[in-house]
Amino acid sequence: MREKVIRFMQENKISTRALARGIQYSHAAVVNYLKNKYDADTKHLETAISEFIAKYEEKRSEQGDGEFIPIAAAMDLWETLEFAREEREIVVVIGNSGCGKTFAKRAWLKKNGHGCVSVECHVRMTGRGLILELLEAMGSQENEPTTRRAVAKLVKELQKQPRMLIIDEADVLPIDGYELLRHIWDMTSSPIVLIGMPALLEKMTTSKEHRHLIRLYNRVGMGTVLPDLSFEEAQAILKRYGFNLDRETVQTVLDKTWRCMRRFIKLCKHMQRLRKKQIEIDAKVVKQIVSEFLVA
């Protein structure tokens, strides 16, 4: 396991501090584990690392083989990012799991990322962890001892050099994370983009448990709900992969993948692998593949 973790960190250029924050363990614990000097039972630590790696790999393979596909969800996200930058607003982008949010965000950053700082949240992240991730993404190597000092440093950096903050998987943040972002926007007017699943909007508007978040919601300048995969988009993607199927079969595939971009792409790849084995992909075979490959 240890060798696998080291290889993963090297291949993806993940620092020990970033991994420590990602799994909510101390930096010293991660360093000692990697050096085989961790005295305690490694079971829980390795479970946390495995969850981190699995989530990272899932996000990396979210859409295709790295080829950006301009589906409606992706273009709506791009338009919202442009609005946030131009108007210096807080915006919220909501989309179902697997609709291509993260892939579209990364594609936009490759073209327009100057002056942007992007972080991807995880279920173990704290408000302090979010601020430290933002500081590290901005090039800061110092680990501020308190949340207050970390926030003050981030505010100072943003006042000196304005940047747009993009927070992916924002629906898993704890309350203090949202409150810190609200404070940062109040102090700097830096554009902030919150990207997440529908639970994010529910937290901010209807949850009694998170009623304090209405203060953040009242500052939101734009909200975008991303659409699921359409029939026309599904048909076009199948043709990209070399499959020209009838409308009924396309609809079957779309329904069985729940109009989820990630699941749809996985199925297309599976069909490609079968074709390489000289299996002819026709409507009958596709329906059989769908019933075996996916649970309806």
- CATH number at 156 reads 3.40.50.300
pLDDT of 15 reads 86
Examine residue 154 and state whether it is found in any structural domain, yes or no.
yes
For the chain, what's the residue count? 296
Burial of 65 (0-12, 13-18, 19+ CB in 10 A): exposed
Contact (Cβ atoms closer than 8 angstroms) between residue 168 and residue 139: no
Identify the DSSP state of 114. T
Q: Residue 144: its pLDDT value, please?
A: 78
* Separation of CA 272 from chain center: 26
Which helix (DSSP H) or strand (DSSP E) does residue 289 occupy?
Answer: helix 283-293
In this prediction, residue 63 carries a pLDDT of 45
If asked whether residues 139 and 11 sit together in one domain, one would say: no
pLDDT at 64: 45
- Please report whether residue 66 resides in a domain: no
Angle, CA of 69, 120 and 295, to the nearest 5°: 60
- Say which CATH number the domain at 11 has: 1.10.260
Residues 237 and 145 in one domain: no
Cα 239 to Cα 252: distance, rounded to the nearest angstrom: 16
Which residues lie closer than 8 Å to 240 by C-beta, 6 or more apart?
Answer: 69
The alpha helices in 138-190, defined as continuous H runs, are 147-160, 175-188
- Residue 248 and residue 220 in one domain: no
Select from 281, 226, 287 the least CA-distant residue to 254.
287
Residues 79 and 220 in one domain: yes
Residue 251: predicted pLDDT: 93
Domain assignment of residue 254, given as a range: 231-293
Low-confidence ranges of the chain (pLDDT < 50): 62-64, 296
Q: 183, 200, 225: which is the final residue of a domain? A: 225
pTM of the model: 0.81
**How many structural domains is the chain composed of?**
3
Buried b (16+ CB within 10 A) or exposed e, 16-35: ebbbbbbbebeeebbeebbe
Residue 61: the pLDDT is: 55
- Asked if the structure places residue 172 within a domain, the reply is yes
